[in-house]
Structure 1
């Protein structure tokens, strides 16, 4: 039975530097007794899952399922091997509501503690130290919670103590399989992304709330279903769908999702998530925004075979299209007398046909390098422009810099207001130098999105600010 909490990848929890145990070990053996690499090593303990919810008995009276909490030991140094050691585990914090089953490598010392043998760890390696079975007691109150606590010792090192939150929760636990990302689509191409919905909980979900976000360059294939409502934003469309089919514990259903890449598709994504339906859940997903009811064919779940794929309440996949977008940069010409302050601007515009967005990384859709003309001083700058030295290095003082690195929002649409972004500077004319000018240029090698990868004409990605032409 899968856990009720959203799945998380195994990770270290670095709570604090712990070098005392190694230092003490070295002190006992004498100076130089430990290799330098070993003296710099650190031992860690953490768990998979990071936290756990135990299911109680099923609604049909079936016994509560056993779930496994795996304690993992690791160390940092890649050039040393840590010998076998021990793991001390204390389950007294959950004993009131959970039964514990110790694995063969653990020796119970009391009713709630055990010492487990841990394996040798290769350089920089990690290994499971104990796979502990946990089962909610038949009379465990819902929402009970406590902590399993543990510490490892090996190779003269003692880990910082670790802990895992364990709770009891009864109810549906809805999750979705991962749809594969799509690449190389031609604009206008239809594609399917069916996924499986599973209920890994111990109660039936009478209805399911599906939340779906399709970014600006993709859309559902066909009209919005009548059991869905939608809200449009510059970045895409959000749909909230009420699925009436019951999802019993252990059941699987197919959710048929069909999409189409629009003419403006390029770097797009689709987010989808599920939860048990309720008026409160629906209101929270609306977030106070106005949604419009759909009028198309109803979107329904259909029974599906069981799957071994991991399920999660929230999923996302990317959609990459074969398309282009033409960025154009426009500078400005300004005039004034010595001592006057003028407004000079640089404007980046996306002429399409694709919109450009960094929806995953959150990077600017366009980054512009702006040089400041000789004889002038910057007295005001946009908030999204960072000062630079003449060579492009870091500069702390915000005003008066000879150069600025400016960032657009994370998206530029293919048309309309959001396709254009302007950076305006206040320039004080210190000395009248007729025709004084400086170059502004789009950074075409940004990590995401890489402009030269989609812009077919880079010749218009550069312009100038000219003072007193």
Structure 2
């Protein structure tokens, strides 16, 4: 990778600044609250001039937030220093900013009355003519609001020439009906200053969703959690061009909390092969997916020409806007049922006691966003027995639920299923119990109905079967 490519291959990093109270004499709010500043985007990639000579502008919004929503923080100000950009970029200040010099300004910050951040200033930034590719600098800012002062915040700005494919964020969808057809509307555009030779779309529909169409210029691979698709759009995309993507989907009878991912990169044969990752994909057979023009991102005429079929990947100026994900929540249920076990043996013998969770559907459940267990089970061990072996996915607890280091012989365990549980699927946690004394003993096992996000009680229609018993006869 070249030095230039390393500079431009930016990874979004949250650049925030934390609280600094105004000394021991500050008010109670400075003690109980924290002030934060950050920028959107977190790092700014600034294109140079278009090939017709016009210069695009980008915006960077400076945000201020605080931690305590119960505390009202009075209006304040944010001091912005853009001198680090002066050698290669021009900053246009908004109306709420009073300039001190051409590169510095103080901007008014509105009152912070709740948990939501406020926008302190939206700056327009454009490249100066004749500046070489790769120039970079830092925008610096510090906020004061009420009795709070933030540490200095920074936003890195780098200048580059190239294509910048971007996708818009589709809105979350709630309450869609199983068996229905939906679309995930999005826009694909080139926000850079050079033509992209084409686009490679990567789409993922989770298991409760299906692609309503399978165009011939897309190829598909089914996985345990959904369907992955790669679509080649081999038309050049000029700077400022924008296209609509409807993304038609079928909502399955098993849908519940679903996820649809879509991402884009410049197309090349090498990029397509890398995206396949050695897996076998099956081509679609429907009409080809075509680019449908949307309102242009700019009015200047694009003059760049396609150079033909690309064989090497073209770096994207700003990958921060190349990937999007949207949650699709279906109005559906999944009935979980927990089953314990009844075992017996002589004193001193070791028996296997199973705890099984079954998803009776109709929906599958999956934590595809957070990656948390689909189901968590609280397993209490019958008195008079000792755990001599346990599943790796179960952690030992004290009787009151505190974590303990020694994993065998505990009176209680917290067990985690995989992140998904298909409809009609089961998952079993097996414990080896040594019987230490004669007689009948039992303990309760239960699903944590508040654990899943959203909680299991929000989609499980029958919570009465989420509790069971382990019975041991010695």
- TM normalised by structure 1 equals 0.81
Determine if contact 2:234/2:267 at 8 Å carries over to the other structure: no
Q: Which residue among 319, 336, 344 is the counterpart of 1:327?
A: 336
Q: Report the CA distance shift for 1:215/1:37 in structure 2 as closer, same or farther (over 3 A).
A: closer
CA drift at 1:462? 3.0
Separation in 1 of the partners of 2:428 and 2:54?
Answer: 64
CA drift at 1:239? 0.2
Separation in 1 of the partners of 2:375 and 2:55?
Answer: 54
CA drift at 1:189? 1.8
Q: Deviations over 1:292-351 (max 9, x none)?
A: 22222211111223489xx94322223333333332322223333333333322111223
Determine if contact 2:76/2:111 at 8 Å carries over to the other structure: no
Structure 2 unaligned residues grouped into runs of 5+: 1-7, 299-319
Matched, 1:438 2:443: yes
Separation in 1 of the partners of 2:34 and 2:331?
Answer: 48
Q: Report the CA distance shift for 1:179/1:155 in structure 2 as closer, same or farther (over 3 A).
A: closer
Separation in 1 of the partners of 2:20 and 2:269?
Answer: 49
**Counterpart for residue 67 of structure 1:** 58
CA drift at 1:383? 2.5
Q: Which residue among 251, 266, 275 is the counterpart of 2:256?
A: 266
Matched, 1:51 2:51: no
CA drift at 1:42? 6.2
SS at 2:20 equivalent: coil
Separation in 1 of the partners of 2:39 and 2:119?
Answer: 9
**Counterpart for residue 232 of structure 1:** 222
Q: Report the CA distance shift for 1:368/1:274 in structure 2 as closer, same or farther (over 3 A).
A: same
CA drift at 1:155? 7.6
Greater Rg by CA: 1
User: In the comparison of the two structures, how many residue pairs are matched?
Assistant: 441
Structure 1 unaligned residues grouped into runs of 5+: 27-31
Mean alpha-carbon deviation: is it higher for 458-467 or for 73-82?
73-82
TM-align CA RMSD: 3.5
Q: Report the CA distance shift for 1:5/1:439 in structure 2 as closer, same or farther (over 3 A).
A: same
Matched, 1:357 2:366: yes
Separation in 1 of the partners of 2:195 and 2:364?
Answer: 42
**Counterpart for residue 464 of structure 1:** 469
1:130-279 alignment to 2 at 5 Å?
Answer: 131-151=122-142, 159-222=150-213, 224-279=214-269
CA drift at 1:458? 4.0
CA drift at 1:75? 6.6
Separation in 2 of the partners of 1:127 and 1:39?
Answer: 21
Q: Deviations over 1:7-32 (max 9, x none)?
A: 989x87135x534xx23xx6xxxxx6
SS at 1:119 equivalent: strand
